[in-house]
C-alpha cells in the first residue's frame, strides 16, 4: 500500500467518524422551522404580554374617563345601635346615595387623552411584537448559518488532517520541507479554533432561541430550507414611520389632550348630579323628644340635586396645568427625535444592504471559482503529465478542497449578514410582520402541496 492509498484510507475513516458524530448529534436535537420559531417566540414573549396588558390598561382608562357620567351608588347603614341624649344626626337606618358628573369642559379632553393613550398602546404592542419577531428571526438565521459553517469546517478539518499526513509522508521521503509540515499543522490548529468558536456561537444562539420560544434547555437545530427569501429594498428612499415612532406621537397627543383639560379647569362651570334616599328610625332614639314638631316623622326621605361648581382660584391646578403642558412638549420633541433617528437608521440600513448584497455576490463567485479550480485539479490528477509540466499531487488536491470549503464558509457568513440586515430593515420600516405573515402563508401552502398526493 503506497502513501497516497494510506492517506486516502485515513481520510475515509475520519470522514466516516465525522458523519457518525453528526448523525448522533442530530438525533439528540429537535428541529424547528423558521416560521414556527418566530410564532412560538411571539406567543411566549413576556415583553408581548406586558405590552398586551398595557393595551388593557389603556382600555380601562377610557372606561374610567367615560364612566364618571354614570351615577355611583353607595349604600350605608347605622340603624343597629341605640341613640340617647341630644340627636347627633338624622336617625337613619340605611341610606343610598348616587352621584355623577353631568358636564365638565375638562372631562372631554380627558376622554380624548385616554383614547389617544389606547392608540399609543396598540402601536407600542405592534412595535414590541416586531422587536421580538426580529430577535427570533435573526437568532434563527445566525444559528442556521453557524451550524452550516460548522459542518463545512468539520469537512475542511478532515482535509487539513489528510494534508498533514501527506506532508508528513513526503517529509519522511525527503520530498518536502519541515516548514510545509508546520504550515499544514498550523492550518489544522486554526480550523480547530474556528470550530471551538462556532461551537460557542451555536450553543449561545441555540440557548437564546430556546428561551425565546419557551423551551429552555432543549438543543435545537434549524431547517435551512424553511428560511424565506428576504426582500431587497427597491426604488428611491421613502422614510417610513415605525410603530414605535407612531406610538411616541400618539403618546404626545394624549399628553397634550390632558394638558388642555387641566388648563380648562378654572372659570368654567362643572355640573354634577346627586340623589339620596334614607330610611329613618322612630324606635331606638330620642329624636322626636328634642324635635317635637316632627312627631309625625316619616320613615322615608328622598332628595335630588344638581350641583354647579365654578373654580375661581386654585393655584394647585394652575401648577398642574403647567406641569402637564411641559410633559406634553417633552413627549412631542422626544417623538420627533426618535422619528429622525429611525429615518437615519433606515437610510444607513439601505446602504448596508446594497454593500452586503455585493459582498454576498462576490463571496458566491469566489466559492464557484474555488469549486471550478478543485474540479480542474481533480481532472489533472487523473491525466498523465504532459511535456515538462510538473505533475499535480494529492497535496494540491487537499489544498484545493480546503480552499473550496473556506470559500463556502465565507459565502455563508456573507449571506447571513445580508439576511439579518434585511430583517432589521423590515422592522425599521414596519414591514416585518407583514412579510412574516406572507412567508408563513407560503410555507403552509407549500406544506399542503407536498402533503397532498399528486394526481396521475
H/E stretch holding 306 = strand 300-309
Q: Taking a C-beta distance cutoff of 8 angstroms, is the pair 249, 117 a contact?
A: no
What are the pLDDT digits (tens) for 203-260?
999 999 999 999 888 788 999 999 999 988 877 778 888 899 999 999 999 999 999 8
DSSP string, 406-436: HHHHHHHHHHHHHHHHHHHHHHHTT-HHHHH
Does the pTM surpass 0.95? The reply is no
Query: Taking Cα atoms as reference points, which of 399, 1, 373, 392 lies closest to residue 164?
Result: 399
What are the pLDDT digits (tens) for 410-444?
999 999 999 999 999 999 888 898 899 888 877 66
Reading the block at residue 261, the C-alpha cell is 383639560
Contacts of 434 (CB under 8 A, 6+ apart): none
Share of the chain above pLDDT 90, in %: 53
Contacts of 188 (CB under 8 A, 6+ apart): 157, 160, 161, 164
User: What is the per-residue pLDDT for 387?
Assistant: 57
Q: Taking a C-beta distance cutoff of 8 angstroms, is the pair 234, 350 a contact?
A: no
What are the pLDDT digits (tens) for 11-64?
444 444 443 344 344 445 688 999 999 999 999 999 999 999 999 999 999 999
- Say which residue, 453 or 381, is predicted with more confidence: 381
Confidence bin at 293 (pLDDT 50/70/90): low
**306 burial type by CB count under 10 A (0-12 exposed, 13-18 middle, 19+ buried):** exposed
| Longest pairwise C-alpha distance within the chain | 142
Q: Taking a C-beta distance cutoff of 8 angstroms, is the pair 378, 433 a contact?
A: no
Question: Domains of the chain, with CATH numbers?
Answer: 31-342 (1.20.1600.10)
Three-state DSSP class for residue 100: strand
Reading the block at residue 89, the C-alpha cell is 344626626
The half-sphere exposure of 85 on its side-chain side, counting CA atoms within 13 A, is: 1
User: What is the per-residue pLDDT for 385?
Assistant: 61
User: What is the per-residue pLDDT for 448?
Assistant: 58
CA 332 to chain centre: 25
User: What is the per-residue pLDDT for 312?
Assistant: 84
Pairing of strands 300-309, 220-222: unpaired
pLDDT at 322 over 60: yes
What are the pLDDT digits (tens) for 169-183?
989 888 888 999 999
pLDDT at 445 over 80: no
User: What is the per-residue pLDDT for 403?
Assistant: 94
Amino acid at each position: 500500500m503506497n502513501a497516497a492509498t494510506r492517506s486516502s484510507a485515513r481520510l475515509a475513516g475520519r470522514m466516516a467518524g465525522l458523519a457518525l458524530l453528526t448523525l448522533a448529534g442530530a438525533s439528540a436535537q429537535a428541529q424547528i422551522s423558521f416560521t414556527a420559531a418566530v410564532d412560538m417566540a411571539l406567543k411566549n414573549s413576556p415583553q408581548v404580554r406586558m405590552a398586551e396588558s398595557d393595551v388593557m390598561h389603556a382600555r380601562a382608562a377610557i372606561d374610567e374617563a367615560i364612566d364618571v357620567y354614570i351615577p355611583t351608588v353607595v349604600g350605608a347603614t347605622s340603624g343597629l345601635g341605640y341613640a340617647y341624649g341630644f340627636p347627633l344626626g338624622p336617625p337613619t337606618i340605611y341610606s343610598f346615595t348616587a352621584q355623577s358628573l353631568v358636564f365638565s369642559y375638562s372631562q372631554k379632553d380627558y376622554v380624548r387623552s385616554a383614547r389617544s393613550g389606547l392608540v399609543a398602546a396598540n402601536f407600542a404592542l405592534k412595535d414590541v411584537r416586531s422587536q421580538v419577531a426580529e430577535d427570533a428571526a435573526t437568532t434563527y438565521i445566525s444559528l442556521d448559518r453557524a451550524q452550516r459553517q460548522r459542518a463545512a469546517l468539520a469537512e475542511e478539518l478532515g482535509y487539513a488532517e489528510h494534508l498533514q499526513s501527506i506532508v508528513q509522508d513526503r517529509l519522511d521521503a525527503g520530498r518536502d520541507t519541515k516548514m510545509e509540515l508546520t504550515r499544514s499543522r498550523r492550518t489544522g490548529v486554526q480550523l480547530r479554533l474556528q470550530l471551538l468558536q462556532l461551537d460557542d456561537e451555536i450553543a449561545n444562539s441555540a440557548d437564546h432561541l430556546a428561551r425565546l420560544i419557551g423551551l429552555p434547555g432543549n438543543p435545537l437545530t434549524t431547517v435551512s430550507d424553511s428560511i424565506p427569501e428576504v426582500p431587497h429594498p427597491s426604488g428611491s428612499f421613502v422614510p417610513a414611520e415605525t410603530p414605535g415612532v407612531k406610538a411616541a406621537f400618539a403618546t404626545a397627543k394624549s399628553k397634550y389632550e390632558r394638558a388642555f383639560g387641566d388648563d380648562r379647569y378654572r372659570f368654567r362651570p362643572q355640573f354634577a348630579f346627586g340623589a339620596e334616599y334614607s330610611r329613618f328610625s322612630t324606635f331606638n332614639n330620642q329624636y322626636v323628644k328634642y324635635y317635637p314638631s316632627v312627631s309625625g316623622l316619616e320613615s322615608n326621605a328622598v332628595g335630588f340635586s344638581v350641583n354647579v361648581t365654578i373654580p375661581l382660584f386654585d393655584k394647585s391646578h394652575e401648577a398642574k396645568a403647567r406641569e402637564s403642558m411641559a410633559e406634553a412638549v417633552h413627549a412631542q420633541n422626544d417623538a420627533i427625535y426618535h422619528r429622525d433617528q429611525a429615518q437615519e437608521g433606515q437610510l444607513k440600513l439601505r446602504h448596508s444592504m446594497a454593500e452586503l448584497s455585493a459582498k454576498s455576490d462576490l463571496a458566491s463567485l469566489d466559492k464557484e471559482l474555488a469549486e471550478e479550480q478543485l474540479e480542474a485539479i481533480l481532472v489533472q490528477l487523473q491525466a498523465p503529465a504532459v511535456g515538462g509540466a510538473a505533475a499535480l499531487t494529492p497535496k494540491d488536491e487537499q489544498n484545493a478542497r480546503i480552499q473550496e470549503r473556506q470559500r463556502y464558509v465565507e459565502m455563508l457568513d456573507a449571506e447571513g449578514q445580508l439576511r439579518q440586515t434585511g430583517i432589521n430593515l423590515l422592522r425599521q420600516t414596519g414591514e416585518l410582520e407583514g412579510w412574516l405573515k406572507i412567508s408563513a402563508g407560503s410555507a403552509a401552502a407549500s406544506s399542503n402541496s407536498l402533503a397532498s398526493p399528486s394526481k396521475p
